Structure 1
Amino acid sequence: MTTERSGVLEGAIAPAENSKLFGHREAEAFLAQSYKSGKGHHAILVEGPEGIGKATLAFRFANHILNHPEPAEAPDSLGDPDPGSIVTRQLVSGASHNLLHLTRPIDEKTGRAKGAITVDEVRRAGKFFGQTSGSGNWRIVIIDPADDLNRNAANAILKILEEPPRRSLFLVLTHAPGKLLPTIRSRCLPLRLKPLDAGAMRQALALLGFDVTGANAERILAAAGGSVSEALKLINYGGLDIAEAFEEILKGQGPSVRKQMHKLADILSAKDSETIFDFFSSLLTGRVIQSAREAAAAGDIERAERLARLSGIFAERLALSDAYNLDRKQTILSLLDDLKDAS
């Protein structure tokens, strides 16, 4: 299961510890060469779906810079991090004085990650730059992901981006760049990563010990959509069963469907079900968006607009449920009812 304090899925390797990256050679080459030129941008917006390697790329690039602090003397490609080097050991342990990883903080009362990256977390960046200002070393901040910044935190980051300290680098990760403040996007150089192709997915999953030749392999690869994290949810968290139950509910009618809905809601609202609930939330909203696109392609603009509005309503209700700790089972049942009505 997900370790809330580490945010790492069962079966995954934490990005700071991962010495391998698959499927993003062009992005790696761009980062290495722009750094070596001495003309690299101070803030890079690494865009792409969740679970395709954005954080691993960010730590990989940070490792490269901290091992080669003079750009002109750096290699023109990113090599695999040396697990025995001091820089790598410091990054893995979180003890590096030259890198700050900003992510959602842990609520000490619940042991779960909070719903957003708060302004208090961003203030750590100010202290970080203050403590290292006289060292002459590179100072790197990874914001993971920037989608989780609340409004105050986003504005605080913006102020730093507007006047970046010398020899500083911001690696701003985002699953949905459209949700970020336009002013943050405008101060970053966009670097778009694509979902992994089948070959890269097989390599990544094989590294994690998954049998890519097994009976369910093709099914999982197809359902994962080029995301390793989605594949792990399908493999280790019952995601395939959840997806199948969801499809049966959408197709079914009558009292038996109501029983299926309650059974699914019970599973998704059980203790320690955060990861699979997030998986279901993405499945649900993704289905509405897909249906909206299909309606638009078929020329049914009215239905497409109605479904597009519904996807926004679903996202808002899910966020409110999380923020106010509402009864998750009732939220799920309500959302399924609304989706079936819309269908």
Structure 2
Amino acid sequence: MINYRLNGPASQERQRIRVMAALRENRFPQAILIDGPAGIGKKALAMEIAKALQCTDGNERPCGHCFGCKMASDPGVTDNWVFPMEAKEVQTRSADSVSAGSTARTIQDIKQEYIEQIVANPYRIDIFSAGGEISVNLIRTMTGSFAMKGDRVRVVIVAEADRMNDSAANAFLKTLEEVPPDTYFILTVSSRDRLLQTIRSRCLALHLLPLSDAEVREETLRMLGPDADEESVTGDVIGLAVGSPGKALYYVEHARELCALASDFIVKSLRNDYSELFEALAKAGLDEVAEANGFLEVLSFLVSDIMRRESGAPLRLPDTMAKLDMDAFPRIDATALEIALATVQETMSRIASRRTAPMMCLQSLAIKLFEGSK
């Protein structure tokens, strides 16, 4: 019997055992859906499974050195991947349509650059543009490549499949209804609810768990490389990551600035010092939806931590909380904090709806935060 060995963090071992059992018993489905929070290693597991499926070693898979394993991990084999792209990228000419010797950048070149980033760091949460989507053209290109598969096993990883538009989802559903022989699909999503139920029903569901704080620290330092400064992975970074090395990598660069701004937001709001606060928000560049709500996520963590400190619960932002003196505002009790947290979350929804400019929402929140308790 062939032995399968999939690598990954201990926190996700149960899910890997389930996949390895299906592979050993030759009952692996032709479509699998891996869901879980952003940046916890869904694409990393997808790549491990792809290598295992394409490996030709007779004893242990993936072996890492056979032709199948090399094809699965080669960024140049762009047909192995589908992921969100901006419209202008999708409209780029393919390699088949440019003249011989041309140095024009093709869609295959663009895809290869994305794949290289994924292979280098599958935890990253900022590889794809926020404005990108999986369009029907990308799905049609994928299905068009099936004719060139030959006799080898084909595995297609559909990363962030919950970003398919309606036309793409319907086209992909038709493909799932009649999957070509020896062809497998591995979908990764952060939100299963954003994917068509009819697609979900045709996939084996695999829910991937967040990592422990210790694993997040270990994986983050490993991704940062041998010259990484261990002190850069602070307590606040680990707390904001919530089990996601991808988020930790982001917050290594941004936690200090965002936590300081969130702390100032609370203090200046309580002191009605709006002019300086509005100026600081403008300098922070929070004019876009993703950036504004990213800041509000940090702010909600901080408000929650103030509540945790009152109840004696462990803090998620220990470094920032050590500098925040809430004793200067004795009127802020548990009820005021609960209302403030709800107000922050309501503001995030308003910004996400895109009906009001993010900066206007942030300014309005500063005035309303702790209203009646100032």
Pair in the same fold by TM > 0.5: yes
3-state SS, counterpart of residue 190 of structure 1: strand
1:225, CA displacement in angstroms? 0.9
3-state SS, counterpart of residue 206 of structure 1: helix
CA distance in 2, matches of 1:290, 1:186: 39
Match of 1:266 among 260, 280, 283: 283
CA distance in 2, matches of 1:74, 1:309: 55
**Counterpart position of 2:363:** 337
Q: Is the 8 A contact 1:288 1:310 kept in 2?
A: no
**Counterpart position of 1:119:** 136
The 3 A distance-change label for structure 1 pair 215 and 55 is closer
Question: What does residue range 216-295 of structure 1 map to in structure 2 within 5 Å?
Answer: 217-236=234-253, 238-253=254-269, 256-268=273-285, 278=290, 280-284=292-296
Whether 2:155 is the aligned partner of 1:174: answer: no
The 3 A distance-change label for structure 1 pair 258 and 136 is farther
Q: Runs of 5+ in structure 2 lacking a partner?
A: 1-5, 93-109, 111-127, 308-333
The 3 A distance-change label for structure 1 pair 240 and 180 is farther
Whether 2:146 is the aligned partner of 1:159: answer: no
**Counterpart position of 1:324:** none
CA distance in 1, matches of 2:20, 2:173: 25
Equivalences, count:
294
Match of 1:101 among 61, 81, 87: 81
Q: Runs of 5+ in structure 1 lacking a partner?
A: 1-18, 321-329
CA offsets 1:227-271 (integer angstroms, 9 cap, x no match): 1111111113x233113312421442266444333333333359x
Q: Is the 8 A contact 1:196 1:227 kept in 2?
A: yes
CA distance in 2, matches of 1:121, 1:26: 33
Moved more, 59-68 or 240-249: 240-249
Partner AA of 2:187 in structure 1? V
CA distance in 2, matches of 1:20, 1:280: 36
Aligned-residue Cα RMSD (Å) equals 3.8
The 3 A distance-change label for structure 1 pair 264 and 46 is same
CA distance in 2, matches of 1:290, 1:46: 31
CA distance in 1, matches of 2:24, 2:255: 43
3-state SS, counterpart of residue 284 of structure 2: helix
Q: Is the 8 A contact 1:100 1:128 kept in 2?
A: no
1:40, CA displacement in angstroms? 1.4
The 3 A distance-change label for structure 1 pair 45 and 246 is same
Partner AA of 2:76 in structure 1? A
Partner AA of 1:267 in structure 2? A
1:151, CA displacement in angstroms? 1.3
Q: Is the 8 A contact 1:291 1:307 kept in 2?
A: no
Moved more, 84-93 or 137-146: 84-93
3-state SS, counterpart of residue 337 of structure 1: helix
Whether 2:65 is the aligned partner of 1:59: answer: no
**Counterpart position of 1:36:** 24
CA distance in 1, matches of 2:84, 2:9: 26
Partner AA of 1:316 in structure 2? S
User: Larger Rg: 1 or 2?
Assistant: 2
Aligned residues: percent identity? Answer: 22
CA distance in 2, matches of 1:285, 1:198: 19
Q: Is the 8 A contact 2:300 2:344 kept in 1?
A: yes
Partner AA of 2:296 in structure 1? L
